[in-house]
Amino acid sequence: MAELNLPELPAQIPDRLEKALQRRVDALLYELQQAGNARYIPPIEIRLVRDAHRAVLAACELGLSDGEVYYARFRELVRELGYERVAVGFERSNDWD
């Protein structure tokens, strides 16, 4: 970094990023729960599933302490919405209401 004349990053950034990722995952999991209660329209529902999946995987890959808990909760909520994991992404296992 010295050769590129880039300033050093403050020590708090990794901690702040971890907290931000935790808040994002919590918010997306809450929205998934609400989707089950309110029956969102299909395009919004699948977008929410995809966004939550990305965030939960990032939490797991970065080794967040609650990563596995987040993933288990995600799988439970997705199952309640009627989706199942397929080779690429998720598929609704029953017909749209």
pLDDT tens profile 22-80:
999 999 999 999 998 887 888 899 899 999 999 999 999 888 889 999 999 999 999 99
pLDDT at 19 over 50: yes
Q: Hey, CA dihedral for 19, 71, 35, 47, is it positive or negative?
A: positive
Q: What per-residue confidence (pLDDT) applies to 73?
A: 96
User: pLDDT tens digits, residue range 68-82?
Assistant: 999 999 999 999 988
Number of C-beta neighbours around residue 48 at 10 A: 19
pLDDT band at 2 (very low <50, low <70, confident <90, very high): low
pTM: 0.78
pLDDT over 80 (residue 87)? no
Cα(60)–Cα(39) distance, rounded to whole angstroms? Answer: 28
Q: Could you give the angle at the alpha carbon of 62 between the alpha carbons of 68 and 46, nearest 5°?
A: 65
Q: Are 31 and 77 in contact (CB under 8 A)?
A: no
